[in-house]
Amino acid sequence: MPVRPVLGATAGAALLLLGTAVVAPSASASAAPAEYVTVDPEGRVTADGTVTLSGTYRCTAGSGPVFVSSSVSQGTPTINYGIGGTGAVCDGQEHRWQNSGTAPRNALTAGPARVEATVLELRGSGLLVIPVPHAVSHEDVTLVAG
């Protein structure tokens, strides 16, 4: 058997395993049923494109900085606009979050939209910072003028 295909397959398997070890959180760090993030059914959008979204979250055992981030899409599901981030406290209690951010003028209008909210921990591992999701939610909301 030629050496190159064997080396290629071995290197590919090693990278796959390494990538899985670095990207995938351990079983103890995966989203427990007690961890969640919700999105309120109504958000606000102003004439200048400022969007405000809110909801609740609950997470436990964060060892690094934790944030609730949000993004919104409307019309074209492949175009998402980041709408801020809020520091989170992972103490097992339910907390409110609210993010505001500005999308390009006229990109978002009053009406139906799709929001993704994520509770994300930035965990240090040597020289790397590894993003560890605690909870993710995809919700249909209504943006109201305001």
Using one digit for the tens of pLDDT, what is the confidence trace for 50-68?
Answer: 999 999 999 998 788 999 9
Helices (H) and strands (E) in the chain, counts: 1, 8
Q: CA 14, CA 29: separation in Å to the nearest integer? A: 23
pLDDT of residue 1: 41
Q: What are the backbone dihedrals phi and psi of residue 46, each rounded to the nearest 5 degrees, phi first? A: -100, 170
Using one digit for the tens of pLDDT, what is the confidence trace for 65-113?
Answer: 999 999 999 988 899 999 999 999 999 999 999 999 999 888 999 999 9
Q: What are the backbone dihedrals phi and psi of residue 99, each rounded to the nearest 5 degrees, phi first? A: -120, 145
Q: What is the mean pLDDT of the chain?
A: 81
Q: CA 84, CA 103: separation in Å to the nearest integer? A: 11
Q: CA 136, CA 57: separation in Å to the nearest integer? A: 10
Measuring CA to CA, how many Å separate 21 from each of 63, 73, 140, 143? 18, 31, 33, 39
Residue among 37, 86, 81 nearest 65 (CA): 86
- Residues 106, 73, 82, 86, CA torsion sign: positive
